[in-house]
Structure 1
Amino acid sequence: MNATLQVLDPRHDPEPDDWERLRLAAGQCVTWRYDLLRAYAWAAQAPVLVTVLRQDGVAVGAVSVSLRGIARRRGVYADRRGRVGVLDVHAPANRSLKGWWFAGEQRPELLRDYVGGIRRELGPGWRSVVWREVSDGEELPGPARLRLPTAPLAKLAVPWADLDGWYGTLDRPRRDSLRRRARGFEGIVRVGPARELVTAAEVAELRAMNDLKYRSRLVPTAPLPLPYLERLVGGDEVIAIAYRGRRLLGLSLILDHPSWPVCLSWGALAPEDGGRKHLYFDGYVRMVEWAIRAGKAGLVLGKGQAEVKSAIGAALVPSSALWALP
């Protein structure tokens, strides 16, 4: 049974009545909430389209794509779609997730309907598709492909009853170091709903410091705007690990989820700017402790710092960017 496409420009098109129900049924994090998609689209460097896949009128999945126009000036938002470009399928504001998903069972065959439909929508100049965060062995439409390995995704299962269970999996020097430093940070760290611990302006400042160091060259991105961060941290689905002295010293944001929360970002003041050493490593202690107490199956630790994440027990899941040519 073929899918029908509801192609939406989040900047202008209203939220479908069944969007939130679809998002929750598919187990998708808060970054897929429609008001956040709208805020992201207004600040993106390329036009963003979100497509709802329907069968017999029932929403069964979604795809998000950025329209990378070939003639666009870098760093300038392109309001017009243009006649020629590449369809860049990726999750808005979150490199740990895919840009396509389904409610219930996975339906990769529906992606062929998506590719055909979105090409008809945009015209013959939009033939190439880049799929990001592709898992090994995953089926995707497209006759000719160029596969480029990307940074692996770190996932840490947390089957333990308490933090000592996790500590017991680490080598002794690392375990002793983490425990000793954790005691020293007890007075300055708090873990809880982000809306109670930080402001959007503080998040923006620390994210900007961190993004300049680690921003991906393969995925052109702009800093998340303040209106986006205000909506993100003001809701009920984001947890903060916040370190404070006279000011905010370090911050990790976690997108809550019933089973596998996603660690969205980390930022901290450098020691020479008044920050504290070793906050990054202590952040993992607080993440694991929170996940265990909250009864989570595990944590998606994201990309980057693969050696560090592997050393604390995370599995590194290979992923690729797959370029499907016309």
Structure 2
Amino acid sequence: MSLTLQILDPREDPEPAGWERLRTAAGQCVTWRYDLLRAYAWAAQAPVLLTVLRKDGVAVGAVSASLRGIRPSRGVYAAARRDPAGILDVHAPGNRSQKGWWFAGDLEPERRRELLRGYVRGVRRELGPGWRSVVWREVSPGEPELLPGLLRVTLPTAPLARLATPWTGLDGWYAGLDRARRESLRRRARSFAADPGLSIGVGPARELVTAEEAAALRAANDLKHRNRLFPLAPLPLPYLEALVGGDEVVAIAYRDREGRLLGLSLILDHPRWPVCLSWGAVTPEDGGRKHLYFDGYVRMVEWAVAAGKTGLVLGKGQAEAKSSLGADLVPSSALAVPL
């Protein structure tokens, strides 16, 4: 069987044939929709390569990577592609709760390794011999042996929080929490629900929030994470317009009496494991409310249980708080492999 790579610049290249069908078959969230990939690539801090893996002409998977070249700044994408050297940084576009590589169907481990080995070889031929290393992000336990390359440098990263939701109501969730956490969540949920000066909306994002509002809260939240290596670029307004205007994003929105947005959680919907994309809130000093962060999880779990979801991917960061809410912390690492 022959492997071919369709290497794309999402900013300029048209959507590959069958892309949406491939995304759906692989169970990937809306952030892999091609119009969103295009918007992300325009705003990214480094050029983005999307590669479709085709076996005997049939699309079987995809990989998204940023080109971390040696040039400190890039004026245009074409110039960056001519960097003589750099690192291939494999990560999901706009969301560090997912991996940057995936496959359609339940492929055997050796088959996955074969496909990724072919990917690395093909992309290096595309970029040139100066591209000397691949960094695979969000590598879970048991996955390193599925990635090509013998020499590795492993850097532990923040764990990924996942909360299974097998219950029929909130009481099932509450029962597994320690008493102090359970009582505080219940007390605050009752208080917020009874507050005439606060409204809480849970439903399709397009009905509850505008892209401009989402961008403002998202930008404020992103500032807290500027110290990470290769931080995510702020999501541009066109990206958020496409994201919240579609059918695959759920919002939990808190507003005051005047309609001002005080807190917002965006959730990437999925048949089994929705992904919590972001949280943002107005600080109490600027007129916001205390404890909306934890109340947001109450509304989120309530929604997931009612919708029959298997669980929630709560994302990275605030690991201790998420653990106190019953989430499992899945170890994660970045794996650098020289070529």
1:220 is the counterpart of 2:231: yes
1:130 to 131, 135, 139: 135
Give the 3 Å change call, closer, same or farther, for CA 281–230 of structure 1 in structure 2. Answer: same
1:259 is the counterpart of 2:272: yes
Report the secondary structure of 1:220's partner residue. coil
- Structure 1 stretch displaced more, 107-116 or 210-219: 210-219
- Counterparts of 1:291 and 1:323, CA distance in 2: 36
What is the deviation of 1:176?
Answer: 1.2
1:210 is the counterpart of 2:217: no
Give the 3 Å change call, closer, same or farther, for CA 29–117 of structure 1 in structure 2. Answer: same
Aligned residue identity for 1:249: L
Residue of structure 1 equivalent to 2:179? 172
- Counterparts of 1:19 and 1:229, CA distance in 2: 21
Aligned residue identity for 2:164: A
Q: How does 1:140-179 map to 2 (within 5 A)?
A: 140-179=147-186
What is the deviation of 1:73?
Answer: 2.7
Between the two proteins, the alignment pairs up a number of residues equal to 325
Unaligned runs of 5+ in 2: none
- Counterparts of 2:142 and 2:177, CA distance in 1: 31
CA contact (8 A) 1:72 1:78 kept: no
Report the secondary structure of 1:212's partner residue. helix
Give the 3 Å change call, closer, same or farther, for CA 69–55 of structure 1 in structure 2. Answer: same
Aligned residue identity for 1:291: A
How far does the alpha carbon of each residue in 1:209-268 deviate from its partner, in whole angstroms, 9 at most, with x for none? 111013461233221100000000000000000000020000000000000000000000
- Structure 1 stretch displaced more, 304-313 or 169-178: 169-178
CA contact (8 A) 1:22 1:60 kept: yes
CA contact (8 A) 2:252 2:296 kept: yes
RMSD: 1.3
1:284 is the counterpart of 2:297: yes
Aligned residue identity for 2:93: P
- Counterparts of 1:24 and 1:40, CA distance in 2: 20
* TM-score of the aligned structures, taking structure 2 as reference length: 0.93
How far does the alpha carbon of each residue in 1:250-289 deviate from its partner, in whole angstroms, 9 at most, with x for none? 0000000000000000000000000000000001101100
Aligned residue identity for 1:314: A
Q: How does 1:244-255 map to 2 (within 5 A)?
A: 244-245=255-256, 246=258, 247-255=260-268
Aligned residue identity for 2:279: W
Query: What percentage of aligned pairs have identical amino acids?
Result: 77
- Counterparts of 2:280 and 2:65, CA distance in 1: 27
Residue of structure 2 equivalent to 1:242? 253
1:8 is the counterpart of 2:8: yes
What is the deviation of 1:79?
Answer: 4.5
1:91 is the counterpart of 2:92: yes
Residue of structure 2 equivalent to 1:185? 192
Residue of structure 1 equivalent to 2:44? 44
Report the secondary structure of 1:108's partner residue. helix
Report the secondary structure of 1:38's partner residue. helix
What is the deviation of 1:77?
Answer: 6.5
- Counterparts of 1:262 and 1:2, CA distance in 2: 34
Aligned residue identity for 1:219: F
Residue of structure 2 equivalent to 1:120? 125
Give the 3 Å change call, closer, same or farther, for CA 54–78 of structure 1 in structure 2. Answer: closer
What is the deviation of 1:17?
Answer: 1.9
How far does the alpha carbon of each residue in 1:12-46 deviate from its partner, in whole angstroms, 9 at most, with x for none? 10001200000000000000000000000011111
Aligned residue identity for 2:321: V
- Counterparts of 2:214 and 2:297, CA distance in 1: 18
What is the deviation of 1:104?
Answer: 0.5
Unaligned runs of 5+ in 1: none
1:194 is the counterpart of 2:195: no
Aligned residue identity for 1:252: S
CA contact (8 A) 2:162 2:330 kept: yes
Residue of structure 2 equivalent to 1:319? 332
How far does the alpha carbon of each residue in 1:67-89 deviate from its partner, in whole angstroms, 9 at most, with x for none? 00112238x76542211111000
- Counterparts of 1:174 and 1:143, CA distance in 2: 45
- Structure 1 stretch displaced more, 181-190 or 14-23: 181-190
